[in-house]
Chains A and B, each alone.
Chain A
Amino acid sequence: MSQILSIENLAVTLQGDQRVIEDISLEVPEGEIVGIAGESGSGKSLTAAALLGLLPDRSQTSGHAWWRGGAEPRDLLTLDQRSWNRVRGREIAMVFQDATAALHPMLTVGTQITEHMRVHLQLSRRDARRRAVELLDRVRIPDPEASLRSYPHQFSGGMRQRVAIAAALACQPRLLIADEPTTALDVTVQAGILRLLEELRAETGLSVLFITHDLAVLAALTTQAYVFREGRVIESGATEELLFHPRHEYTKTLVAARPQADDWDEPEQVAR
């Protein structure tokens, strides 16, 4: 199976020689959901930022991030601003942890779903809105027509994340980076979002890089998983193998820290 994204020996240094990612290699097979687990500060969010060229100013990177989702393979770490704007949103999209913060409070949902469609796909206003209605319907937002004219604060937390996912999928990207998209939501809402992602993968062949600190979510959703710690990958492999037979001490403590193994079953059934 072909790898749509291969990260080779990624290292990131922030301003002031602060080395936050030491050495990360990672592969995302096409049409699969790959998980990254790790505690805060392990470098998982910065990896996502590096993949979209959204690292803080004056950060330095080394290594490669081979992207095969475009016309030809490219190293994401070497893109200039113009090329970035063709990759971002168009080929790789992102969903953030807190949809409340990630949606502009003063722009209508319609604008936020259609604005990049009009840039990337050169759609007319009408076509973009028609597609937005389909997208909102796809992520199960009730009354999509009316929702286009609403503002984010008029939706519940889970609905907001669905809107954010609709916006991310607007230009039919090949890869979706989801940075803890369910952490801010309560469990039942969380399950719905996970189910949606799995459906999207199955239907459209979307690849997903799913970042989480929740091992239950990892188990429910992903086939491959990477465990990050202090800017390094300390263990990787098939998710089930990783969680039930962890080899690394750190992974063991992570797994042991989960209250009950039974927890994992429920969202798993929901997701499949």
Chain B
Amino acid sequence: MKDIILKAENISKQYRLGEVGTGTLKHDFNRWWHQIRGKENPYLKIGDTNDRSTKGNSDYVWALQDINFEVERGEVLGIIGKNGAGKSTLLKILSKVTAPTTGSIKSRGRIASLLEVGTGFNGEMTGRENIFLNGAILGMTKKEITSKLDEIIEFSGCGRYIDTPVKRYSSGMTVRLAFAVAAFLEPEILVVDEVLAVGDAEFQKKAIGKMQDISRGEGRTVLFVSHNLAAVKQLCTRGIVLEHGLIKFEGGIDEALDVYNSNLDDLVTEAAWSIDKAPGNLNAKITSVKLMSEDQRFLIENEISVEVEYVNLLENQKINCSISIFDDQNNYVLASPNLERRFLEKGRYKSTCIVPKDFLNKGKYYFTVILVGNNFEIIAQLDKIVSVDLDEEGIHRKDYFGYWGGIVRPYLKWENNKVEL
């Protein structure tokens, strides 16, 4: 028998786009007029699915549509999806900040949310006063807080400043204190959104450890939303992938992450043209550029191959490809021209460049492809034609989850030896 602690049934949420002005009053009146005649809300019928990039043709948009899921007691459910997929809306509904437009959520336990910690802190009040205030906002009684006060202060590591107004705290300290308060909440269901995005590496590790304790040790249910996929993978047992307000996938966390990874649509891993529209000149044309990886999972631990297909329209000319990689800050990461040039016959060719594994860092990279002719003249230049958002398996991280900077992230060899004096 499954022990369902939380059940969402047909949750939908509609938002109105645009500014609130005279149109709203008219809509409000119209809605009211339908309501008193016992008719359905006229504005619930219209509305498009939530897709930022294409312009819808109505003022209303569905941030979530027909969301159904169940959560078992003690489960850690990861909710993943791109920006605007509806994750935050779902969490807001779960934490009762806003009501769903239709549907209902049934729960057998108290839900406490930990959305962007530090809300409700008052800068004028001391750390200690804020622990009480924030604890009470999150639903604790004064008695509960008093009994855990020492543990909270200890966990936050802010003991020295506990009687100083919070406005003098660094942002990191504020986050530590806020997380500490929330970590000692005792709800049956804890909703966590992006807390790990802040704080230093040591604290992030502490926070993840605490969340593991909460779920595994104390058997409480956690709903976790984060862009830190390594942390999601580490913590969650099951995952839901949201896309345009719909559940795209629900199941094991590994599969969920795969679905998420293969599905980044503002990034293009493939571009192809028919021969008459292909970029190039009368000598040669590029017909397709593709990024390939093992199972199309773009991870920094996988090799990435850039496949360029082109047609040579002349007999015996030297042509070759060159690729350049840029990061999302438009830093020029590298260029790799293929300088082994041979005379080519007429026909179709494919050149593949392999970017080694454990080389690029996590994040977005854009690939520029150039086709070069006989005298090193440019036949076709396709700027940032394909792109990829690299993720990581995290196998080299061991138990470190923090920031790992750098434009590239090669896995370098280390030697550690004991030095005899």
Whether both chains belong to one complex is answered with no
